[in-house]
Amino acid sequence: MKSRMPVTFFFMLSLLAAGSASAQASVNSLTVPSTITDPLAGFTINYSLGGSKWGVGAASAELRFYLSASPNGSTGVATIEQRQILLRGSGWGPYYPPSGTQSLYVSRLTMPANTVALLESISAACAPQTWYILAELDWTGYQNRPALLGTTKQPDLYFSGGTISPAAIQPGGTTNISFDVTTRCPTSYGSSVGIYLADANDQLLSFIGAVSIGSGAGTWSLPPTGITFSPYIATGTYNIVLLADMDGHVAESNENNNAGAFQLNINWNAMAAAGREEGKLEPELQPPFESEAALYNLESRAPDNYVQAFHYDAEL
């Protein structure tokens, strides 16, 4: 007569054969802020867990939170938090995860370095981006929620480079200027770069002209363009001042770096005038002029004894 083994023996044997817990515990719900303007400053994730686990190793579970560019975690995945949690139970189980709503506060100090770098890039972007926060307990599938990360940034026009050649001329001579004006975040409107002549103390003397630039983002470059000065201009040191968004049409994040300047020496001595072939733009200066009224007066004035000609009619 064959002996019949107890059913519990086969149940325990199957658990041992599996060598691991039967994973049915999972993330039941997930809540994140719909908008996180500065994710590195910290935000709270709320979640709840449910289900149970049986068998060897069932007394704990691995809880993971991710940041992903896609709702299923297939692209741009970075770990937010990863931790082991203890479950309630004894023996072979069942073991239960903590009940009720749980909260996790995350910030720059709690996240891995690669996640911080990703969030720095997102935060620096010109417009908010939709990302997904995913949560998973062991390997039982994700819960995901979207969040709009970052803020809309204003443009910031500044001069990123420029050249004057020659940097010394005789009265009545011509020098060529070129410049690059840049904004990382886009403008909604076109604007103009004003070009002015000032003395060595940045007192305005003459309005030379204006160059139109389009809307958008990037760098606009003026190719070498001649400025011819009057033969009656006094010798001495002058500044050719460039002012981005001369009419104030563009609301910028920084209005104090819109100016750049070239130094120009005017000298009757031909040898001295030929001694400085090229000069560089001093960029990102605070506009040196005291008021818009001074600019208006200069722009409205008839031709003077400083500048004879400047012609650049195309939009950059």
- Go through the domains of the chain in sequence order and give each one's CATH number: 23-149 (2.60.40.10), 158-310 (2.60.40.10)
Give percent of the chain above pLDDT 90: 70
Centroid of chain to Cα 71: 24
Other Cβ atoms within 10 Å of 20 Cβ, number: 12
Q: Is the dihedral of CA 111, 114, 116, 122 positive or negative?
A: negative
**Residue 203's pLDDT is what?**
87
The amino acid at 184: R
The confidence band for 3, taking pLDDT boundaries of 50, 70 and 90, is very low
**Residue 117's pLDDT is what?**
97
Centroid of chain to Cα 20: 46
The confidence band for 133, taking pLDDT boundaries of 50, 70 and 90, is very high
pLDDT in tens, 208-226: 989 999 999 999 999 999 9
**Residue 314's pLDDT is what?**
64
The confidence band for 289, taking pLDDT boundaries of 50, 70 and 90, is low
DSSP of 146-208: EEEES-PPPP--EEEEEEEESSEE-TT-EEEEEEEEEEEEEESS-EEEEEEEEETT--EEEEE
Q: What mean pLDDT is reported for the chain? A: 87
**Residue 291's pLDDT is what?**
45
Bigger pLDDT: 144 or 248? 144
**Residue 277's pLDDT is what?**
81
- Judge whether residue 118 has pLDDT over 70: yes
- Judge whether residue 243 has pLDDT over 90: yes
d(CA 12, CA 15): 5
**Residue 37's pLDDT is what?**
96
**Residue 57's pLDDT is what?**
85
The confidence band for 17, taking pLDDT boundaries of 50, 70 and 90, is very low
**Residue 311's pLDDT is what?**
72
The mean pLDDT value for 124-144 works out to: 95
Predicted TM-score (pTM) of this structure:
0.77
- Judge whether residue 14 has pLDDT over 90: no
d(CA 153, CA 129): 12
The mean pLDDT value for 289-306 works out to: 59
- Classify the phi-psi angles of 109: left when phi > 0, otherwise alpha if psi is within -120 to 50, otherwise beta: alpha
- Judge whether residue 8 has pLDDT over 80: no
Q: Are 128 and 75 in contact (CB under 8 A)?
A: no
Give percent of the chain above pLDDT 70: 84
